C-alpha cells in the first residue's frame, strides 16, 4: 500500500499509513522503506525523513542499496546535500543507482561542475 500510494504521488497518505503500520507492529521491507523515504523527499518532509532514518538504523537497513540510495535522495532533495553525501560515502557498495542518486542530488542543488566531474 505504501509503495502504491507513493507511485501515485499520494505522499501524505503514504506517510500516514506508514506511521499507522508502524504503530500496529508491521515490519517494512527495503522497498516500502525506500518508497516512504521517496515520499518524504517529494513532500520536503525532512523531519519525517529523519524519523524514518532512525527506524532504518534500528532495523539494520542502513547499508541496503535501495534504502541507502532513497535516504540519500531524501536528504539531498530536502536541501541537506552534506547529509546525503555522508550516506552515500558510508555505503559499502556503489553501483549505478548510487552514483545516479548523487549526480541527481548535485544537479538539483546547483553543483553543475561537480555533476560533470562525477559523470566522467
| Over residues 7-18, mean pLDDT | 95
Number of separate domains in the chain:
1
- Please name the residues in contact with 112: beta carbons below 8 A apart, sequence gap of 6 or more: none
Residue 120 has pLDDT above 90, yes or no: no
Cβ distance 43 to 76 under 8 Å? no
pTM here? 0.90
Query: To the nearest whole number, what is the mean pLDDT of the chain?
Result: 93
Q: What pLDDT sits at residue 19?
A: 92
What pLDDT, on the 0 to 100 scale, is given for residue 20? 95
Mean pLDDT, range 12-36, rounded to an integer: 94
Output the DSSP codes for 4-72: HHHHTT-HHHHHHHHHHHHHTTPPP-HHHHHHHHHHHHHHT-HHHHHHHHHHHHHHT-TT-HHHHHHHH
**Mean per-residue pLDDT for 3-32?**
94
State the residue range of the domain holding 95.
2-119
Residues of the chain with pLDDT > 70: what percent? 100
| Pairwise CA distance, residues 97 & 105, whole Å | 12
The per-residue pLDDT for 23 is: 93
pLDDT at 119 over 90: no
| Interval 55-90: pLDDT, tens | 999 989 988 999 999 999 999 999 999 999 999 999
Would you tell me the crossing angle of helices 11-23 and 30-43 to the nearest 10 degrees? 130
pLDDT value of residue 31: 94
Amino acid at each position: 500500500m505504501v509503495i502504491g500510494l507513493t507511485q501515485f504521488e499520494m505522499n501524505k497518505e503514504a506517510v500516514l499509513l506508514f506511521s499507522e503500520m508502524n504503530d500496529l507492529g508491521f515490519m517494512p521491507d527495503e522497498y516500502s522503506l525506500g518508497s516512504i523515504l521517496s515520499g518524504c523527499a517529494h513532500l520536503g518532509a525532512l523531519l519525517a525523513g529523519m524519523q524514518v532514518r532512525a527506524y532504518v538504523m534500528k532495523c539494520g537497513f542502513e547499508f541496503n542499496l535501495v534504502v541507502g540510495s532513497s535516504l540519500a535522495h531524501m536528504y539531498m532533495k530536502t536541501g541537506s546535500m552534506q547529509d546525503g553525501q555522508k550516506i552515500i560515502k558510508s555505503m559499502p557498495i556503489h553501483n549505478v543507482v548510487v552514483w545516479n542518486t548523487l549526480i541527481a542530488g548535485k544537479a538539483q542543488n546547483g553543483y553543475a561542475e561537480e555533476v560533470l566531474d562525477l559523470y566522467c
